[in-house]
């Protein structure tokens, strides 16, 4: 099955700096890659996603890049703010039988220091 | 308001006592799924359902059952809970666009 590895597991940055989280996946059939943000005690919420026919996608301070050949994708957060502190999960989605299955990375605890 | 709801939000039970966690969505989504979240392991899929009466195992289905008798509901059943099922459980639903929306979570403790 699909295996998604996510690094680093923890990341601390100064407010205003950039943060980068990287993920690799194993199944070349995966073609949808969402990123979720989970604040303490809350549910995961989608922040950005990318499909395999696109190499990069941007939404204000957040961007995601995808390298299909190398099977890795990354989340970039610029001008970080304290409210960006949370656990971030990457995921890879592929068709399994008649369904789409989402496999998550193990998460990155991002701390933005004021 | 479009949402996924779960009940109960917190549950403490004892080994072997059957329990059900309910999940309901009002977005007319065909796809629903259950995940468990454990420290350092991320979110692991337990079961998913593509539509009414269509369910399939995820990555960690042992010890769990599900049913999908109606489109909006997807309950998670633990017939004989054990301490290793102590976890935070999330239900999610999704439409054709692949995006999944998560419920608020159920924190289960099995003593």
A111 vs A102, higher pLDDT: A111
Q: Are A66 and A19 in contact (CB under 8 A)?
A: no
Integer Cα distance of B32 and B50 in angstroms? 7
The reported pLDDT for the residue numbered B97 is 60
Question: How far A83 CA sits from the closest chain B CA (Å)?
Answer: 20
A89 vs B: CB within 8 A: yes
The reported pLDDT for the residue numbered B49 is 92
From the DSSP assignment, how many helices (H) and strands (E) are in chain B? 0, 11
Q: Are B91 and B73 in contact (CB under 8 A)?
A: no
The reported pLDDT for the residue numbered B39 is 87
Integer Cα distance of A21 and A90 in angstroms? 9
CB contacts, 8 Å: B33 with chain A: 102
The reported pLDDT for the residue numbered B23 is 98
B31 vs A: CB within 8 A: yes
Residue A16 has pLDDT above 90, yes or no: yes
The reported pLDDT for the residue numbered B1 is 77
CA end-to-end distance (rounded Å), chain A: 41
Nearest Cα neighbor of B106 from A35, A41, A40 is: A41
The reported pLDDT for the residue numbered B5 is 97
Question: How far A68 CA sits from the closest chain B CA (Å)?
Answer: 19
Helix (H, G, I), strand (E, B) or coil at B29: coil
Size of interface A-B (CB pairs under 8 A): 54
The reported pLDDT for the residue numbered A94 is 82
CB contacts, 8 Å: A43 with chain B: 90, 102-105
B2 vs A: CB within 8 A: no
Q: Phi and psi at residue A53, in whole multiples of 5°?
A: -90, 5
Instruction: For residue A94, give the chain B residue with the closest CA.
Output: B98
């Amino acid at each position: 099955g699909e295996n998604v590895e996510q690094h680093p597991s923890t990341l601390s940055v100064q407010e205003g700096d950039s943060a980068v989280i990287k993920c690799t996946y194993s199944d070349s059939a995966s073609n949808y890659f969402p990123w979720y943000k989970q604040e303490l005690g809350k549910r995961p919420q989608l922040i950005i996603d990318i499909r395999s026919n696109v190499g990069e996608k941007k939404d204000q301070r957040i961007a995601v890049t995808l390298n299909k050949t190398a099977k890795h994708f990354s989340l970039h957060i610029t001008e970080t703010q304290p409210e960006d502190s949370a656990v971030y999960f990457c995921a890879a989605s592929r068709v399994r039988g008649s369904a789409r299955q989402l496999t998550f990375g193990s998460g990155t605890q991002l701390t933005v220091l004021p | 308001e479009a949402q996924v709801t779960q009940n109960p939000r917190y549950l403490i039970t004892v080994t072997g006592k059957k329990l059900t966690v309910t999940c309901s969505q009002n977005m007319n989504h065909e796809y629903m799924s259950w995940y468990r979240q454990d420290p350092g392991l991320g979110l692991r899929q337990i079961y998913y359902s593509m539509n009414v009466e269509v369910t399939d195992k995820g990555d960690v289905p042992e010890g769990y059952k599900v049913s999908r008798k109606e489109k909006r509901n997807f309950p998670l059943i633990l017939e004989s809970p054990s301490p290793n099922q102590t976890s935070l459980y999330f239900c999610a639903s999704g439409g054709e666009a692949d995006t999944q929306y998560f419920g608020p979570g159920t924190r289960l403790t099995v003593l």
